[in-house]
Amino acid sequence: MRIDALLADAAARLAAAGIADAAPDARLLLQHVTGLSRSQLVLRADQDVDETVLARYRELLARRCQRIPLQHLTGSQEFWSLDFAVSPAVLIPRPETEFLLEQVLATCTGGTITRALDLCTGSGVIAVVLARELGCPVVAADIAEAALRVAQENSVRHGTVDRVLPLCCDLFAALTPCAVFDLIVSNPPYVAEEEIDGLEPEVGRAEPRLALSGGPGGMGCIERIAAEARHHLRPGGWLFLEIGADQGERVDRLFRSAVPGYGQVRVIDDWAGRPRVLRARHEP
């Protein structure tokens, strides 16, 4: 079968399965199987696909039609213009987390950060980017050992293994009282438990529930971080959290009035105008 005909057929099958990005997914799967670039596929559109390649492609296509995430099939996701390993043990990195990092780096510049903590590190994208951009040691903490293995793989892949320090623990539980940081960043679980089953199958069924669920209302992990982070931030240190688009007012109220020790509290809207990032400074 010719490449152009194969892609057209694959896109139609994916669309019938309810996948919105059917044509891009069909192409990316074929790029993954053949090792060809997008432009090479275009230039070879009238060429036939090898039978072995065709069989492998159809196998992956069938799995994608079952709503298995594309990134789980290819094993990777681009983030911060870097290629990161992903697996079913971690959340797939998303543009919202790139926005979080943009806000961190816009505030924390000029060598002011000497030690950072990435809570709920998952695939390690936050820790790796912070280590590369700020040049400082970053403790990458996660409760799931399988997630930490992916984070370590990404740290090796991107040359930060000497600066990213993996730690298996439940938020701050393994830290001593004297462990303080200039910066704490987290993309914590913030989806309301009651909403998870209604998410797209690629998310609700395929991504780790432990990394998604913030408990009833979605605020459980955020509330724990708010209560404990101030004990592990130096005076003047910064806390940044990715939050849900419907949590802006609740998070703002939490850090302004419910929990002492924070100042310069701001909920920052993303490029679509939705609340996305909490920024607060430790002011004892």
pLDDT tens digits for range 41-82:
999 999 999 999 999 999 999 999 999 999 999 999 999 999
pTM of the model: 0.94
Cα separations (Å) of 82 from 21, 53, 118, 129, 161? 22, 26, 18, 9, 16
Is residue 240 predicted with pLDDT exceeding 90?
yes
Distance between CA atoms of residues 98 and 81, nearest Å = 10
Distance between CA atoms of residues 73 and 87, nearest Å = 9
pLDDT at 43: 92
Of 218, 189, 212, whose CA–CA distance to 200 is shortest? 212
258: pLDDT confidence band, cut at 50, 70 and 90?
confident
Of 174, 126, 133, whose CA–CA distance to 150 is shortest? 126
- Length of the chain equals 284
The DSSP letter of residue 191 is B
Is residue 195 predicted with pLDDT exceeding 90?
yes
**DSSP E strand stretches across the chain:** 76-79, 82-85, 116-119, 138-142, 164-168, 181-186, 233-242, 262-269, 275-282
Domain residue spans in the chain? Answer: 3-66, 79-282
The fourth-level CATH superfamily of domain 79-282 is Vaccinia Virus protein VP39 (3.40.50.150)
* Percentage of the chain exceeding pLDDT 70: 100
How confident is the model over 221-239, as a mean pLDDT? 96
Residue 213 has phi, psi (to 5 degrees) of: -80, 120
Instruction: Retrieve residue 13's tokens.
Output: 């099958």
The answer to whether 204 and 91 are in contact (CB under 8 A) is no
pLDDT tens digits for range 207-228: 999 999 999 999 999 999 999 9
